[in-house]
Homo-oligomer: A and B are copies of this chain.
Amino acid sequence: MRLALVGFGNVGRRFAELLRGPYGRILRRAGVEARVTGIATARHGSAIDARGLSLSRCLRAKSLHPLNRERPIGSTLDFIRRVPADVLLELTTLDPKRGLPAVRHARAALERGLDVITANKGPAACELRPLLALAGRKRRRFLFEGAVMDGTPVFNLVARCLPGVRVLGFRGMLNTTTARILSGMENGTSFEDSLAEMQDEGIAEADPRNDVDGWDAAAKGCAIANALMKAETRPTLVDRVGISEVTADDVRTALRMRTRIRLIVRGERDGRKVSVRVAPEALPLDDPLVASEQDGVLILETDLMGEIGILEGPSGVDQTAYAILSDLMALIESGALLR
């Protein structure tokens, strides 16, 4: 199984490290020897080697260019068209409003007849129906378990463990950066200090607007609505309120009323339309959505099973890398290699 990586940041590098260890062993037990035949990056060069790149050299290299065994690689789209691969792993950083450039990469790879796995929420949030239709026409798979809650099963949970169940709606606390800011305010730390602390720890991005203004939560909500409720929505259509106007006073008043304010995303069906909303809400202390600021929690409301929740503990790059492995295993089990 020949893998091509687009993006070689924290997630791509961690995936490569684990592919040399436990992930490689898991794939071999499933009868698959995986090799990475190409890596494209925006700022550290790109390389293609049909016999398989040395991952240890890729992980050490400042630029990938010297490892390239083919004629020089132009744009990322040029890479996607040329790389000798079976599966494209789309691991770039994202504009959550429009899903770019991930959508463009996924589309180009599917057009060419590759299976596509992404750890990005963009494609599922912005363009899921067209991408699934394209994959269907090409008899390829488009998988995106990492779009929401990293490798914690959300999409696979419904597809593989809840046969026949319809998702009627959902509510989630899916953005831990805002949860930590709000939790800090409960304890007297200012909005700005909490944010600066997380930026120091590398948890929050330098530009916090994706989190604070609710774009991240909106994109995750759209991915869930599109994938599990057959919606055709996108982040720009979400009724979205961020947390920038929540004051320390609001947070303390909520606590006095035995509630906590968190940035909550909800999806519900209204006739044929599915709407996604993101807003700060004061929820009772015993709601699982507000239990811990470190955990992401998603509650699915279903027809046959009532409420089912899934919870992701404190997470980092390992959990995102696992999403890719779990999609690779789904690809293998679906017989993608037997075509």
The reply to whether A162 and B309 contact each other, CB–CB distance below 8 Å, is no
The reply to whether A311 and B308 contact each other, CB–CB distance below 8 Å, is yes
A211 to B298, CA, bound (A): 29
Segment with Cβ contacts to B, from A198-206, A228-236, A281-289 = A281-289
In the complex, residue of chain B having the shortest beta-carbon distance to the beta carbon of A27 = B164
How distant is A58 from chain B, measured CB to nearest CB, in Å? 22
Chain B residues with Cβ below 8 Å from A288 are 288, 291-292, 295, 297, 311
Name the one of B291, B295, B306, B318 contacting A313, with C-beta atoms under 8 angstroms: B306
| A161 interfacial contact with B, CB 8 Å | yes
A291 to B309, CA, bound (A): 13
| A312 interfacial contact with B, CB 8 Å | yes
Number of copies of chain A assembled together: 2
In the complex, residue of chain B having the shortest beta-carbon distance to the beta carbon of A293 = B286
- Scan A309-338; emit 1 where CB is below 8 A from any B CB, else 0: 111111100110010011001000000000
A295 to B307, CA, bound (A): 9
Name the one of B285, B306, B313 contacting A315, with C-beta atoms under 8 angstroms: B306
Name the one of B313, B326, B329 contacting A309, with C-beta atoms under 8 angstroms: B313
Chain B residues with Cβ below 8 Å from A291 are 286-288, 291
A152 to B151, CA, bound (A): 19
- Which one of A152, A163, A318, A326 has the highest number of Cβ atoms from chain B below 10 Å of its Cβ? A163
Chain B residues with Cβ below 8 Å from A322 are 165, 304-305
The reply to whether B307 and A313 contact each other, CB–CB distance below 8 Å, is yes
A161 to B152, CA, bound (A): 9
A305 to B153, CA, bound (A): 10
Name the one of B156, B285, B306 contacting A314, with C-beta atoms under 8 angstroms: B306
Do A312 and B308 contact each other (CB < 8 Å), given the known contacts A157-B153, A162-B326?
yes
Interface residues on chain A, number (Cβ under 8 Å): 46
Do A23 and B306 contact each other (CB < 8 Å), given the known contacts A287-B291, A291-B291?
no
The reply to whether A22 and B153 contact each other, CB–CB distance below 8 Å, is no
Chain B residues with Cβ below 8 Å from A308 are 152-153, 310-313
- Scan A156-170; emit 1 where CB is below 8 A from any B CB, else 0: 110011111100000
Counting from the closest, the 8 A-B pairs by CB-CB distance are A307-B313, A309-B311, A26-B164, A153-B161, A163-B329, A291-B291, A156-B161, A160-B160
Can you show 30 pairs from A to B with CB atoms below 8 A apart? A22-B303, A22-B304, A23-B164, A25-B164, A151-B305, A153-B308, A156-B161, A160-B160, A161-B161, A163-B325, A165-B322, A286-B292, A287-B291, A287-B292, A288-B295, A288-B311, A295-B309, A299-B313, A304-B325, A305-B318, A305-B319, A305-B322, A306-B314, A306-B315, A308-B310, A308-B311, A308-B313, A309-B310, A309-B312, A309-B313
Q: List residues of A whose CB falls within 8 A of some B CB.
A: 22-23, 25-26, 29-30, 151-153, 156-157, 160-165, 285-288, 291-293, 295, 297, 299, 303-315, 318-319, 322, 325-326, 329
